[in-house]
Amino acid sequence: MAVHQPAIPDRPPAWREVFQGRRGRLTAGLLLLEALVAVQVLIVATILPDVRRDLGMVQLYGLAFTASSLATLAAIPIAGRAVDRFGARATLPPVLFAFVGGLVVAAIAPSMPVLLIGQFLQGAGGGGLYALSLGTVAKTYPDRLRPRVMALLATMWILPGLVGPPVGAVIAGTVGWRWAFLAPIPVLALGWFLIAPALDLVPEPDLNADRLAVRWPLQLMVGAGLVFTSLTIVRPWALAVLAAGLVVGLPALRHIVPPGTFRARRGIPATAIAAFLLSMGFLAMDAFLTLMLTGVRGVSLGQASLAITAATLTWAAGSAWQSGRADRVALPKLVLLGTIAVLVGQAAVASALFVEVPVVLAYAGWAIAGGGMGVAFPTIPLATMRVAGVGGEAGVLSSVLLMDMLGVATGAGLGGGAVAVAEAFDAPLAAGIGASFAIGFAALIALAFVARRMTPEA
């Protein structure tokens, strides 16, 4: 099976190259859709308190996030395989339809259960767009341009991170929260207008590409839901829920990811594990950073948010730096370099759990961690694109993206469990957050050893 061979240029390509010709139209459309999904995620997080006040059923509040996340897990492998077998042109309409349908359902929801259906559809559409977007990059752009495109996609989270929450608050406070779900629809139409005419640049689909029974993503979704729900329940019976989730989810995951993934076999299987460990290690701290700053160090929520903003900016800067070196530095080395930076940054943040340590160290540390993520995070899918077989890029890549999403949920879930256990035993908040941070450290240290296995055997 043929694989992509990287170019070794004397210098990295100019940024303008990704915007030239008809490929530039495709680039603009992909960036627009990425920004739209980012804005919508942040707006929804902002307006949900208003939604809860109107619709009630506060006990379902957290499920609004869970429904979207679980749908994303199921949609990524399905959409990735669909891009390989049926093409990007055939896959894009149902993905956009799911996203738009979710927006409309959420906007007109008369009750919280209906809103959850809307969130589920949005998660399915967002996951499908994620797999389709990176699959299109893998199939359409030459290896030398991919790092630049990945860096640009990373920057699409900067402006949404700065304006998404305020925009959501303004919409909810003026015309009402329902319009926050309807506002993105014209932008989606513009994204379709930009992308659709350029999709003939994507190579013809391969009807013989690997098939994936829909049963396995759906079964994984159910298993993951049981596992991540059990992690936040401090009751003896939660262990039975955890065990049931593993029994249901692990066999499904084994059918989706490349063979040898659970053993971190060299090549794509190890790359998939690397994606899982990186996201798990980062989210085990990211999910509880503002809680640490406000609950342990006593800063205001506004002040704590500055740390998130700083990491968002350094993430983009790290991605830009990485994009100029991905053709000249071995990708496993870039992942290792980024991982070390994240570890250093997280150590600085963790030290701020002690009140004797200046809190400014947490801000500096999180900025360093963001830069490290900017280096490591896009390198992992790039490594996958570089060795994936021609015709099956999107399917293979979607398996790595799935492991990334599972890492996000696992890091946040285990961290949440650590905090919940500390609270149940009347331990200080700092103890639960410290345990979550320790989980993140362990995942990143494991990644430092797995990264060197990302290169296939000769």
Q: Give the count of alpha carbons within 13 A of 318, CB side only.
A: 26
Mean pLDDT confidence for 37-60:
72
| 206 band by pLDDT with thresholds 50, 70 and 90 | low
Q: Tell me the range of 289-298, 418-427, 430-439 where mean pLDDT is highest.
A: 430-439
Higher pLDDT, 428 or 46: 428
How far the first Cα of the chain sits from its last, in Å, is: 14
| Global confidence as pTM | 0.88
Number of structural domains found in the chain? 3
Is the pLDDT at 181 greater than 90, yes or no? no
Residues 231 and 332 in one domain: no
**Burial class (CB within 10 angstroms; exposed 0-12, middle 13-18, buried 19+) of 442:** middle
Residues 315 and 345 in one domain: yes
Residues 225 and 274 in one domain: no
Residues 241 and 270 in one domain: no
Higher pLDDT, 211 or 191: 191
Domain CATH number, residue 314: 1.20.1250.20
Residues 234 and 301 in one domain: no
Residues 147 and 277 in one domain: no
Report the pLDDT value the prediction gives residue 400, as an integer from 0 to 100: 93
Residues 335 and 242 in one domain: no
Q: Which domain holds residue 157?
A: 1-211
Residues 201 and 223 in one domain: no
DSSP codes, 253-314:
HHHHSPTTGGGT-TTHHHHHHHHHHHHHHHHHHHTTHHHHHHHTS---HHHHHHHHHHHHHH
Among 256, 285, 318, where does a domain finish?
A: 256
Higher pLDDT, 305 or 337: 337
Residues 56 and 87 in one domain: yes
Report the pLDDT value the prediction gives residue 391, as an integer from 0 to 100: 73
Alpha-carbon span 149 to 16, nearest angstrom: 11
| 60 band by pLDDT with thresholds 50, 70 and 90 | low
Residues 234 and 364 in one domain: no
Q: What is the pLDDT of residues 118-175, one digit of tens each?
A: 989 999 999 999 999 999 998 999 988 999 998 888 888 776 666 666 777 777 778 7
Q: Tell me the range of 6-15, 86-95, 336-345 where mean pLDDT is highest.
A: 336-345
- Cβ count within 10 A of residue 389: 17
Report the pLDDT value the prediction gives residue 449, as an integer from 0 to 100: 94
Residues 270 and 367 in one domain: yes
Please state, for a pLDDT cut of 90, what percent of the chain lies above it. 43
Residues 202 and 220 in one domain: no
Alpha-carbon span 146 to 143, nearest angstrom: 5
DSSP codes, 153-217:
HHHTTHHHHHHHHHHHHHHHHTT-THHHHHTTHHHHHHHHHHHGGGGGGSPPP-TTSPP--THHH
Smallest Cα–Cα separation from 318: which of 354, 369, 356, 270? Answer: 369
